[in-house]
């Protein structure tokens, strides 16, 4: 039998509003809750769990509802931000902790930020990877995304928001699609300047039409890819994509928090080649107002979107150094 990667980690499930949340943990000490993004799983933190445990922390990576071994509610609206925040709160309580430091990547960064904003007593500090914090508010998201791209192409978020559309592209060839998507946003395999942008879909086309073909990023082994592919072939993509289909609901749900800063100690780490960082440069510039207790903001030169997997040693060093300041 082929050995399972990182089989020594502790797997368990806990009760949560989603029904069941699967988590993987390592170490003892103060609780660090790790929240992944799209399209990933707890496994995206496989290189952080042992490093955080070695530094004296109880590191816990979850499968967000809709992913992996966690429950997958049928209703689209069950994936709104308020529900995902309550799942995180339930994990802290199930683990008998008074509070946790929460760290998120990609969509997990947004989920971590909302958790810290809504429950400051339960989440004592927040680390954000790749996607900067921008307070709730502004125009309705769907209205904004609908105007990005112009008459010849469509922004990927709008593409993902239409139920069933992205699933029809992805699920017949999960392995090929994931390989292309990971490669499209990785520093060593992303399209060169001047080539078609993989964040957009030509009208009548598919997102994968702009992905690199036959390229595996250096951070991703075939065994790693097997883990991701196996999970999504089993679960499908609808639960994961439903996060995009709730952005207008989130805008309404968080209306009372428009413009609100996160006051807990915070950390941001992004990549200079990541569109999430470059497109949201104004949000980073606004950190003195929106993250007034920010400890540091780091941009890793030449790094793409999958930051904790592309640059695990740097990310681990920055995370553990920041966490040490919280214990002082």
Residue pLDDT, tens place only, 47-72: 999 999 999 999 999 999 999 999 99
pLDDT number for residue 241? 98
> How far is residue 175's CA from residue 218's CA, in Å, rounded to a whole number?
17
CA contacts within 13 A on the Cβ side of 185:
24
Write the DSSP string, 140-174. Answer: -HHHHHHTSS-TTEEEHHHHHHSTTHHHHHHGGGH
Annotated catalytic residue: which of 63, 83, 87, 106?
Answer: 106
Q: Phi, psi at residue 133, to the nearest 5°?
A: -80, 130
pLDDT number for residue 244? 97
> How far is residue 65's CA from residue 57's CA, in Å, rounded to a whole number?
24
Q: Quick one: the chain helix, strand, coil %, rounded to 5? A: 45, 15, 40
Lookup result for tokens 């017949």: 172
Assigned domain for 5 exists? no
Tokens of 11: 């797997």
Assigned domain for 4 exists? no
Assigned domain for 102 exists? yes
Q: For residue 61, which of 96, 112, 98 has the smallest C-alpha distance?
A: 112
> How far is residue 89's CA from residue 32's CA, in Å, rounded to a whole number?
13
Q: How many domains does the chain have?
A: 1
Question: Which is more confident, 299 or 151?
Answer: 299
Q: Give residues with Cβ within 8 angstroms of 50, minimum separation 6.
A: 26
Assigned domain for 280 exists? yes
Assigned domain for 1 exists? no
Annotated catalytic residue: which of 22, 36, 199, 305?
Answer: 305
Domain containing residue 103: CATH number: 3.40.50.1820
pLDDT number for residue 2? 39
Assigned domain for 284 exists? yes
Torsion-angle region of residue 2: left (phi > 0), alpha (psi -120 to 50) or beta? beta
Q: What is the mean pLDDT of the chain?
A: 95
Mean pLDDT of 122-140: 97
Assigned domain for 57 exists? yes
Confidence class of residue 1 from pLDDT cuts 50, 70 and 90?
Answer: very low
Assigned domain for 2 exists? no
Sign of the torsion angle spanned by Cα atoms 300, 160, 135, 32: negative
305 catalytic, yes or no? yes
pTM: 0.96
Domain of residue 65, residue span: 10-326
């Amino acid at each position: 039998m082929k050995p399972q990667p990182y089989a020594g980690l502790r797997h368990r499930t806990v009760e949560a509003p989603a029904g069941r949340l699967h988590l993987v943990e390592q170490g003892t000490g103060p609780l660090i809750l790790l929240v992944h993004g799209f399209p990933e799983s707890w496994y995206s933190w496989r290189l952080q769990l042992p490093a955080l445990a070695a530094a004296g922390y109880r590191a816990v990576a979850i499968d967000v509802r809709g992913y992996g071994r966690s429950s997958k509610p049928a209703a689209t609206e069950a994936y709104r931000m308020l529900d995902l925040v309550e799942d995180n709160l339930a994990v802290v309580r199930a683990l008998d902790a008074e509070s946790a430091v929460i760290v998120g990547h990609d969509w997990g960064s947004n989920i971590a930020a909302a958790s810290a904003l809504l429950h400051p007593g339960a989440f004592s500090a927040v680390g954000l990877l790749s996607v900067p914090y921008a307070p709730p508010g502004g125009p309705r998201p769907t209205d904004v995304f609908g105007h990005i791209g112009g008459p010849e192409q469509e922004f990927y978020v709008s593409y993902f928001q239409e139920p069933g559309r992205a699933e029809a592209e992805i699920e017949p060839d999960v392995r090929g699609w994931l390989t292309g998507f990971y490669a499209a946003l990785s520093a060593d395999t992303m399209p060169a300047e001047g080539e078609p942008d993989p964040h957009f879909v030509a009208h009548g086309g598919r997102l994968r039409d702009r992905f690199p073909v036959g390229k595996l990023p250096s951070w991703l082994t075939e065994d790693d890819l097997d883990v991701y592919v196996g999970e999504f072939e089993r679960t499908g993509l609808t639960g994961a994509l439903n996060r995009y289909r709730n952005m207008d609901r989130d805008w309404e749900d968080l209306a009372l928090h428009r413009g609100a800063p996160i006051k807990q100690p915070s950390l941001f780490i992004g990549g200079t080649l990541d569109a999430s960082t470059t497109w949201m440069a104004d949000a980073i510039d606004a950190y003195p107002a929106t993250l007034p207790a920010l400890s540091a903001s780091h941009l890793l030169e030449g790094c793409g979107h999958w930051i904790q997997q592309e640059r695990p040693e740097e990310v681990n060093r920055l995370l553990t150094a920041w966490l040490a300041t919280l214990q002082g």
